[in-house]
Amino acid sequence: DTEVTQTPKHLVMGMTNKKSLKCEQHMGHRAMYWYKQKAKKPPELMFVYSYEKLSINESVPSRFSPECPNSSLLNLHLHALQPEDSALYLCASSQGQVMNTEAFFGQGTRLTVV
Amino acid sequence: AQSVTQPDIHITVSEGASLELRCNYSYGATPYLFWYVQSPGQGLQLLLKYFSGDTLVQGIKGFEAEFKRSQSSFNLRKPSVHWSDAAEYFCAVGAREYGNKLVFGAGTILRVKS
């Protein structure tokens, strides 16, 4: 199984809502990532978890809150988002440090904030 | 600052024609180099990677890439393009100086005309 599964595939939320994005992998990878991708742009790293601990936060606003409940799951909790937060949110995982191993990406969650 | 440059935003080729997508990086030592492909609204799939050794690497779907240290380049090639190759292609670089993350180029959108 070389899949990273993200749910939901699409999400529309209001600026006062609270929602969560979920990511799951069963490859035994110990590093998991959240990326944000705006249209016609490359993915931008948001967070990195290594061995279930947050190791990198790329100065992401606090309205985005990551959580890694166990080694297979990664969540991204969303609260009080802005329309400019609308984007494709990609989850990825890797066996080791992504700089020298392959990162596997999920299909993404298309988020629209209204 | 380290950077990854994909000079071509769009490329259009005829089906059956050869393809070369350019990637240049700015970094002192030999980085870890990747090419990813993304179909519209989808996640990223790894095509190939270079860490060390033979500078010509083979990937999936008939793609190959050549690392040229003197030119700081890692260009992606395919001898005969298929309509299903239409997608966006991202070059990415990992290096110790970047920490546990990839730095992506801006991407090249490939269009295939029949």
Contact B48, B57 (CB under 8 A): yes
Mark B29-66 as b/e (b = at least 16 C-beta within 10 Å).
eebbbbbbbbeeebbbebbbbbeeeeeebebeeebbbb
CA-based nearest distance A22→chain B, Å: 15
Q: Tell if the CB–CB gap between B101 and A110 is shorter than 8 Å.
A: no
Q: Quick check: A1 pLDDT over 70?
A: no
pLDDT digits (tens, 9 = 90+) for A5-35: 999 999 999 999 999 999 999 999 999 999 9
Q: pLDDT digits over B14-48, tens only?
A: 999 999 999 999 876 778 999 999 998 888 999 99
Q: Do B94 and A56 touch (CB under 8 A)?
A: no
Please check whether residue A104 is in contact with residue A23, taking contact to mean a CB–CB distance below 8 angstroms: no
Using a CB–CB cutoff of 8 Å, tell me whether B104 touches chain A.
yes
Residue-level pLDDT at B3: 85
Are A88 and B99 a contacting pair at CB < 8 A?
no
Secondary-structure breakdown of chain A: helix, strand, coil percentages, each rounded to the nearest 5: 5, 55, 40
Query: By percentage, how much of chain A surpasses pLDDT 70?
Result: 98
CA distance B27 to B95: 9
pLDDT digits (tens, 9 = 90+) for B8-17: 999 999 999 9
